Amino acid sequence: MTIKTVFNILVASLLISCSSDTKTANLGLESMQCLSCSMAIEDILVDLDGVKKVAIDLKTKSGKVTYKASVVNMEAIEKVIVAIGYNVNDKKADPEAYANLEICCKKPEDQ
């Protein structure tokens, strides 16, 4: 085997191992109300170790997060969103954090 062949095998192995560790998950964010909400959620996720990419869609009240499963898991991702006052998927917002949100970030009483 030539050095070039060995190098190519090592690079391919590294790429396969890295990509298998990356996961993408959907986020149901029905309690999100405004641009401030979407920015707060995006900011908290971007700062989380292991999160590689975040896309929040205010119009559909949803999002996608791409993360390294060896560093962070979906439970931890949901936990930080709940901790800042928003529902995510089937998890309810922390009541104290929700109470401290700006009025524009709270769901109307009739919802």
Supply the CATH number for residue 97's domain. 3.30.70.100
Rounded Cα gap, residues 31 and 101, in angstroms: 12
List the structure tokens of 60: 């559909």
Instruction: Give the Cα-Cα-Cα angle 84, 81, 61 (nearest 5 degrees).
Output: 110
Q: What local confidence, expressed as pLDDT, does residue 45 receive?
A: 98
Give the domain range for residue 51: 23-105
Q: Is residue 10 part of a domain?
A: no
Q: Is residue 57 part of a domain?
A: yes
Q: Is residue 7 part of a domain?
A: no
Distance of CA 66 to the CA centre of its chain: 7
As a residue count, the chain comes to 111
Res. 66 pLDDT band, cuts 50 70 90: very high
Q: What local confidence, expressed as pLDDT, does residue 23 receive?
A: 96
> Which one-letter DSSP state was computed for residue 81?
H
Judge whether residue 96 has pLDDT over 70: yes
Q: What are phi and psi of 61, to 5 degrees?
A: 50, 50
Q: What local confidence, expressed as pLDDT, does residue 108 receive?
A: 83
If one compares 16 and 107, the residue with the highest pLDDT of the two is: 107
Whether the predicted model's global pTM rises above the 0.85 cut = no
Res. 87 pLDDT band, cuts 50 70 90: very high
Q: Is residue 35 part of a domain?
A: yes
The pLDDT tens digits for 42-55 are 999 999 999 999 99
Q: Is residue 2 part of a domain?
A: no
List the structure tokens of 23: 């996961």
Q: Is residue 14 part of a domain?
A: no
The pLDDT tens digits for 5-43 are 755 666 666 665 555 799 999 999 999 999 999 999 999
Q: Is residue 79 part of a domain?
A: yes
Average confidence (pLDDT) over 78-100: 97
Number of structural domains the chain divides into: 1
Q: Is residue 42 part of a domain?
A: yes
